[in-house]
């Protein structure tokens, strides 16, 4: 019997999950704030059960009052638990666990979710399953989105919607100016640098398509970070060709003759005029830098490898001399150049 080919894939499963979370995200934010202020519902009728993971007790089943007016996910959030699915959750993590991992990961970025979940399983005396890590990742991402929405509400109420505010007030010693304070030549000293420790390999198909290209098999994910410190890739791409044009202008300038020196300048004072012209040329035309030969991250080969194998080659950060982060962006298919 003939069976029609099934060309469906699961590339959009993350996107469909994000869309489902988006429908109830505002309600989840309200529920988290309600739980934070201990305004939980006290209705004890119509209870249902879910599995719950907590950092101070073993995995257990708990009962919650059921409210037909709201979804089970929002009801869990009102009682301090984050569901792992936007539909019908069977497992949840307490906000205290998510808050603990958030604090630990901020102080120790090397702490992975897998290690943390395995530690919870060890404390609870239950065998570790790979699905636990996936469920914890979903719950933690949703928890972070709730925190971002709370911060957006707070900034709106405090009239902190200026996108440049995070840079202007990121460092108090750099931004705070006393009355009648002498103006400095350089008000703020900023350092910029990138690293390759956060590189992510580009996922492409194993076989080429009809055009001879390897199609991307990356999962579709349209989520964005609405943070003034984060510079989006769409904004950075506006300056993609600036470096090439500047390099081309320097080469043309170096190869062309200086118009300030003419063939008729052979009389008195020629040496003085020529000497001044050469000094001006040295200031205007930059000599080749030895950095590409000494630093691998500035070499063209490193940039080609980054474009060929990695979708994201790392993170580029700007900070002041007091180690306060001012702005950062992803290095997408490029090096630090």
The least confident of 52-66, 108-122, 182-196 is 52-66
In terms of domains, do 152 and 181 share one?
Answer: no
| Residue 113: burial class (beta carbons within 10 Å; 0-12, 13-18, 19+) | middle
Residue 272 lies inside a defined structural domain of this protein: no
In terms of domains, do 34 and 98 share one?
Answer: yes
Instruction: For residue range 12-69, list pLDDT tens digits in order.
Output: 888 888 899 999 999 999 999 989 886 544 444 555 555 655 555 455 676 777 777 7
pLDDT at 268: 47
Given a cut of 50, whether residue 306 has pLDDT beyond it is: no
Q: Are 35 and 75 in contact (CB under 8 A)?
A: no
Residue 138 lies inside a defined structural domain of this protein: yes
Residue 174 lies inside a defined structural domain of this protein: yes
pLDDT at 280: 47
Host H or E run for residue 319: strand 310-320
In terms of domains, do 119 and 184 share one?
Answer: no
| Residue 88: burial class (beta carbons within 10 Å; 0-12, 13-18, 19+) | exposed
Integer-rounded Cα Rg, in Å, for the chain is 29
**pLDDT category of residue 99 using cuts at 50, 70 and 90:** very high
Residue in the block written with tokens 């996936």: 134
Residue 266 lies inside a defined structural domain of this protein: no
In terms of domains, do 236 and 316 share one?
Answer: yes
In terms of domains, do 188 and 155 share one?
Answer: no
In terms of domains, do 214 and 296 share one?
Answer: yes
Domain residues for 212?
163-259+289-337
Domain count, the chain: 2
In terms of domains, do 116 and 209 share one?
Answer: no
Q: Are 94 and 147 in contact (CB under 8 A)?
A: no
Distance CA(334)–CA(304), nearest Å, equals: 8
Minimal CA–CA distance to 148: which of 316, 38, 32?
Answer: 32
Residue 316 lies inside a defined structural domain of this protein: yes
Selected residue with higher pLDDT from 305 and 129: 129
pLDDT at 254: 66
Selected residue with higher pLDDT from 240 and 323: 323
Distance CA(329)–CA(314), nearest Å, equals: 9
Q: Which tokens sit at 150?
A: 């709370």
Question: Residue range 175-181: average pLDDT?
Answer: 87
In terms of domains, do 77 and 179 share one?
Answer: no
Distance CA(200)–CA(226), nearest Å, equals: 22
Report the mean per-residue pLDDT for the chain. 77
Angle subtended at Cα 231 by Cα 227 and Cα 234, rounded to the nearest 5 degrees: 120
In order, the DSSP letters of 113-175 are HHHHHHHHHHHHT----HHHHHHHHHHHHHHHHHHHHHHHHHHHHTT---TTHHHHTS-HHHH
pLDDT at 333: 74
Q: Are 91 and 51 in contact (CB under 8 A)?
A: yes
Final residue of a structural domain among 107, 135, 161: 161
pLDDT at 49: 56
Q: Which tokens sit at 133?
A: 């890590």
Residue 325 lies inside a defined structural domain of this protein: yes
Sequence-distant contacts of 18-21: CB under 8 A, at least 24 apart? 18/221, 18/222, 18/223, 20/86, 20/87, 21/86, 21/142, 21/145
**pLDDT category of residue 292 using cuts at 50, 70 and 90:** low
In terms of domains, do 240 and 156 share one?
Answer: no
Final residue of a structural domain among 161, 192, 211: 161
In terms of domains, do 206 and 139 share one?
Answer: no
Instruction: For residue range 211-251, list pLDDT tens digits in order.
Output: 777 777 777 788 887 777 888 888 888 887 776 666 667 66
In terms of domains, do 29 and 45 share one?
Answer: yes
Final residue of a structural domain among 101, 132, 161: 161
Sheet holding 47-53, edge to edge: 60-65, 47-53, 91-94, 81-83
List, in order, residues 6 or more apart from 164 with CB less than 8 Å away: 228
Phi and psi based region of residue 127 (left: phi greater than 0; alpha: psi -120 to 50; beta: remaining): beta
Residue 142 lies inside a defined structural domain of this protein: yes
In terms of domains, do 34 and 133 share one?
Answer: yes
pLDDT at 295: 64
Q: Are 64 and 79 in contact (CB under 8 A)?
A: yes
Residue 281 lies inside a defined structural domain of this protein: no
């Amino acid at each position: 019997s003939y069976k029609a080919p099934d060309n469906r894939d699961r590339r959009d499963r993350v996107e469909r999950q994000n869309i489902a979370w988006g429908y109830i995200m505002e309600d989840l934010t309200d529920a988290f704030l309600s739980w934070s202020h201990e305004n939980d519902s006290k209705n004890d009728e119509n209870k249902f059960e879910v599995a719950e993971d907590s950092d101070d007790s073993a995995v257990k089943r708990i009962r919650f009052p059921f409210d037909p007016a709201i979804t089970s996910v929002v009801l869990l959030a009102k009682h301090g638990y984050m569901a792992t699915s936007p539909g019908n959750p069977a497992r949840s993590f307490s906000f205290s666990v998510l808050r603990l991992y958030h604090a630990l990961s901020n102080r120790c970025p090397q702490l992975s979710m897998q290690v943390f979940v395995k530690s919870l399983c060890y404390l609870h005396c239950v065998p570790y399953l790979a699905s636990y890590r996936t469920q914890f990742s979903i719950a933690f991402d949703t928890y972070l989105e709730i925190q971002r929405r709370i911060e957006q509400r707070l900034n709106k109420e405090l009239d902190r919607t200026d996108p440049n505010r995070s840079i202007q007030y990121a460092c108090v010693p750099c931004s705070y100016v006393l009355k009648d304070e002498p103006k400095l030549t350089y008000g703020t000293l900023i350092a910029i640098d990138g690293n390759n420790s956060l590189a992510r390999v580009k996922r492409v198909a194993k076989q080429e398509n009809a055009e001879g290209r390897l199609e991307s098999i990356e999962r579709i994910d349209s989520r964005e970070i609405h943070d003034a410190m984060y510079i989006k890739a769409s904004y950075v791409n506006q300056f993609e060709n600036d470096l090439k044009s500047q390099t081309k202008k320097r080469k043309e300038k170096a190869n062309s003759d200086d118009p300030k020196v003419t063939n008729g300048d052979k009389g008195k004072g020629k040496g003085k005029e020529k000497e001044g012209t050469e000094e001006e040329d040295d200031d205007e035309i930059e000599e080749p830098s030895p950095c590409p030969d000494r630093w691998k991250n500035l070499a063209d080969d490193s940039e080609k490898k980054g474009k060929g194998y990695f979708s994201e080659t790392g993170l580029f950060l700007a900070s002041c001399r007091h180690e306060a982060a001012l702005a950062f962006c992803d290095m997408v298919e490029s090096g630090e150049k």
